[in-house]
A = this chain, B = another copy of it.
């Protein structure tokens, strides 16, 4: 058996402690699978005293994570600090510069600096691996870089944020509002105290940008991801979705179009007969369509100590086995800069909920706006109330262009037919 692979772990939160636990618990198994021992030699975290549920006294302790990049007895730096910049980025860059492999779970870092870091790693002849950055324990990075290597991928989409999926599932099951369910999720630890990254779609957008780069062989382009969150989804929308045979899911969708690459994260109505409609709670799922393999789906837990550590350690096993694959599956020089396919040119069906005053002429104004923009209606739902009361009207459209849809909504808003801005949710039948 060869020399052990020596690992320095930066960041001892849930995932860091989980990684230490996996490496300890599975030591014999991992050695058999890797052909060599995988051994933690150093750890870094600021607070030394804290109980993290694992024994850490046998490892060299560094308060400044950046120190790991310079240690002679570290072959791989595992970065579990988080954040697109700051210490995480400093550490990763220094580790690469010093000829050390890097394994990270940091989606923000890879989404914002992935292409640049991949170039640096390649130049230094080291591996940059980030299986844990997308969809937790699901080995989707490996599936795209290796398992589907024979395919040109045309589309990749999925449920990439467990917090949002938990909230939407719970709203549907209980009929409660977004705010109520969010507050409960925060109490249960399923949502952060500051939920912005999750509920506003940013976390999913980070992951989508990484998946798109792997799937299409293009530079990571996080800035071009159109991102909407789930704050505006109401209990009413969820009820209407049920009536119409849909489920509301926050999806990340990236696809090749005739104009380039479209990347978007937003709530979607998906037909309830699709498998993705039944991925509930904190689970993640990713669907990849390849030209030969056709449709494949991957499902599992998208977060948590065990699943995320499982992905981190899978990367370590690859490195221990001596596998070297460019970060995004092709050499960084081969990564293309694909043009952004503008959302205004996206074609799809739409669900729109208007709040109107129940008075004569309202329907005529809405219908006129649709006609003026050549948007064709598919169905309409209204539950009548007393005249003069506010009432929700829901309509779905046939396939139309996003630009036309947006212009229609503007026209309706201006016409005074509605009492508040309409809610628009894209329908994705796949």
Q: Are A313's CB and B149's CB within 8 A? A: yes
On chain B, the residues within 8 Å of A34 by CB distance are: 149
> A residues 10-59 with Cβ under 8 Å of B?
18, 22, 25-26, 29-30, 32-35
Among listed A197-205, A326-334, A344-352, interface-contacting one: A326-334
20 contacts across the A-B interface (CB closer than 8 A): A22-B292, A26-B151, A32-B330, A34-B149, A137-B296, A139-B142, A139-B143, A143-B147, A146-B318, A148-B310, A148-B314, A275-B279, A278-B278, A292-B313, A293-B300, A294-B306, A295-B300, A296-B298, A298-B299, A321-B323
| Distance from A414 Cβ to chain B, minimum over Cβ atoms (Å) | 44
A311 to B307: give the CA distance in the assembly, Å: 26
A8 interface residue per 8 A CB criterion: no
What's the Cα separation between A363 and B294 when bound, in Å? Answer: 51
Q: Contacts A139-B148, A147-B143 known; A309 to B329 CB distance under 8 Å? A: no
Residues of B within 8 A of A297 (CB): 297-300
How many whole Å from A1's CB to the nearest CB in chain B? 10
Known: A293-B311, A297-B300. 18 other contacts (CB 8 A): A26-B150, A33-B330, A142-B146, A142-B147, A146-B317, A146-B318, A149-B314, A149-B317, A150-B309, A150-B311, A150-B313, A293-B307, A296-B300, A298-B298, A321-B323, A321-B324, A321-B325, A322-B324
Question: Is A290 among interface residues, defined by CB-CB distance under 8 A?
Answer: yes
Check A152 for interface membership: any CB of B closer than 8 A.
yes
A404: min CB distance to chain B, Å: 35
Interface size class of A (residues with CB under 8 A): 35 or more
Binding site for B on A (CB under 8 A): 18, 22, 25-26, 29-30, 32-35, 131, 137-139, 142-143, 146-152, 217, 275, 278-279, 290-301, 306-307, 309-314, 317-318, 321-325, 329-331, 334
A307 CB contacts on chain B under 8 angstroms: 292-294
In the complex, what residue of chain B is closest to A149 when comparing beta carbons?
B317
A10 to chain B, nearest CB (A): 19
A146 to B140, CA, bound (A): 12
Contacts of A291 in B (CB 8 A): 25, 306
Q: What is the bound-complex CA distance between A297 and B287, given in angstroms?
A: 12
Name the residue among A279, A300, A322, A325 with the largest chain B CB count within 10 angstroms: A300
Q: Are B150 and A139 in contact (CB under 8 A)?
A: no
Contact check: which of B151, B279, B301 meets A294 at CB < 8 Å?
B301
Bound-complex Cα distance A297 to B150 (A) = 21
Closest chain B residue, CB of each to CB of A316 = B150
Contacting residues, chain B, for A143 (C-beta < 8 A): 139, 142-143, 147
Taking CB as reference atom, which chain B residue is nearest A140?
Answer: B147
Could you tell me the distance between the alpha carbons of A334 and B31 in the complex, rounded to whole angstroms?
A: 11
Q: Is the CB of A30 within 8 A of B149?
A: yes
Beyond A139-B147, A142-B142, A275-B299, is A293–B310 a contact (Cβ under 8 Å)?
yes
CB–CB A293/B301 < 8 A: yes
Instruction: Report the minimal beta-carbon distance from A257 to chain B, rounded to whole angstroms.
Output: 19
Chain B residues within an 8 Å CB radius of A317: 146, 149-150
Chain B residue numbers with a CB within 8 Å of A33 are: 149, 329-330
> What is the distance, in angstroms, from A132's C-beta to the closest C-beta of chain B?
11
A149 CA to B312 CA in the complex, in Å? 10
Q: Which of B296, B313, B314 contacts A299 (CB 8 A)?
A: B296
List, in ascending order, chain B residues with CB within 8 A of A150's CB. 22, 26, 30, 309-314, 317
Chain B neighbourhood of A131, CB < 8 A = 147
- Please measure, in the bound complex, the distance between the C-alpha atom of A113 and the C-alpha atom of B329, giving whole angstroms: 33
- How far is A148 from B139 in the complex, measured between Cα atoms in Å? 7
